[in-house]
């Protein structure tokens, strides 16, 4: 069994989203080129990505939407579901709590953490907010493997260390800082400044033509 690249994993997640939309519109089957058009990529790309799954489409009818979704679910999701913790209940943290609320049945933010007395020990945007001091205990209790970091950049590394020490194996970092983590921890940065500056740069190039 050969391992699947992070890019492919990302696209599988995207395909699932698009397939959910198609199913909602009462679609039954879909061809690779249709999925490709929806995903802004090539049909060959789609077919290649789907090779990671143990589901084969029909050359005649394409892929059965429900079956394909189920295959992606089996591949991406943990059967018992996975719990996520979010640290830093500021503007961005709260927005993300709302954003993910109910989005994926098998992957939900089950605990938020902050230091602010006005935020702790109550429900914020649907999620209970604990004090930072309880982080280790709750992460272990709830068997949390994934941490989302939405604290200011100068606090990000400390928070990451605490999460890792508590047993987390994946971090999604929204703070504009690069974190150090041991190799057994998967680290993904969402750097909005970087993204915006990229868009600004290329929009200038395109506009000049």
CA dihedral 104, 67, 15, 9 (to 10 degrees): 80
Under the binding rule (CB under 8 A), the answer on residue 40 touching its own copies is yes
Scanning 2-10, 45-53, 116-124, 130-138 for contacts with its own copies by CB under 8 A, the matching segment is 2-10
Burial class (CB in 10 A: 0-12, 13-18, 19+), 203: exposed
Tokens of 52: 């990671």
Backbone φ and ψ for 171, nearest 5 degrees, come out as -130, 135
Spatial neighbors of 88 by CB under 8 A, at least 6 apart, are 113, 114, 149, 150, 151, 152, 155, 159, 175
Choose between 43 and 124: whose C-beta lies nearer to DNA.
Answer: 43
Binder of residue 156, out of its own copies, DNA, none (CB less than 5 to 8 A by kind): none
- Separation of alpha carbons 199 and 27, rounded Å: 34
Binder of residue 63, out of its own copies, DNA, none (CB less than 5 to 8 A by kind): DNA
Closest contact distance (angstroms) between CB of 67 and its own copies is 20
DSSP character at residue 155: H
Closest contact distance (angstroms) between CB of 58 and its own copies is 25
- Separation of alpha carbons 58 and 64, rounded Å: 8
The one among 70, 99, 140, 158 contacting its own copies by CB under 8 A: 99
Binder of residue 65, out of its own copies, DNA, none (CB less than 5 to 8 A by kind): none
Choose between 57 and 88: whose C-beta lies nearer to its own copies.
Answer: 88
Closest contact distance (angstroms) between CB of 137 and its own copies is 19
| Residues at the site binding its own copies, with contacts judged by CB under 8 A | 6, 9-10, 13-14, 17-18, 38-40, 76, 78, 82, 84, 90-92, 94-96, 98-100, 103-104, 107, 125, 145-146, 148, 168-172, 176, 178, 180, 184-188, 190-207, 209
């Amino acid at each position: 069994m050969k391992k699947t690249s992070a890019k492919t994993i990302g696209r599988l997640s995207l395909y699932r989203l698009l397939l959910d939309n198609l199913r909602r519109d009462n679609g039954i089957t879909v061809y690779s080129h249709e999925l490709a058009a929806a995903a802004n990529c090539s049909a060959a790309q789609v077919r290649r990505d789907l090779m990671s799954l143990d589901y084969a489409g029909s050359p005649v009818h394409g892929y059965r939407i429900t079956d394909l979704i189920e295959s992606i679910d089996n591949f991406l999701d943990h059967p018992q579901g996975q719990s996520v913790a979010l640290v830093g209940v500021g503007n961005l943290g709260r927005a993300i709590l709302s954003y993910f609320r109910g989005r994926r049945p098998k992957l939900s933010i089950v605990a938020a953490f902050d230091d602010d007395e006005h935020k702790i020990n109550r429900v914020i945007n649907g999620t209970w907010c604990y004090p930072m001091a309880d982080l280790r205990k709750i992460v272990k209790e709830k068997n949390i493997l994934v941490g989302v970091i939405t604290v200011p950049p100068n606090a990000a590394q400390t928070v990451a260390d605490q999460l890792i020490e508590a047993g987390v194996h994946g971090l999604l970092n929204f703070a504009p800082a690069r974190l150090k983590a041991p190799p057994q921890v998967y680290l993904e940065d969402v750097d909005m400044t970087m993204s915006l500056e990229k868009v600004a740069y290329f929009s200038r190039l395109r506009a000049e033509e």
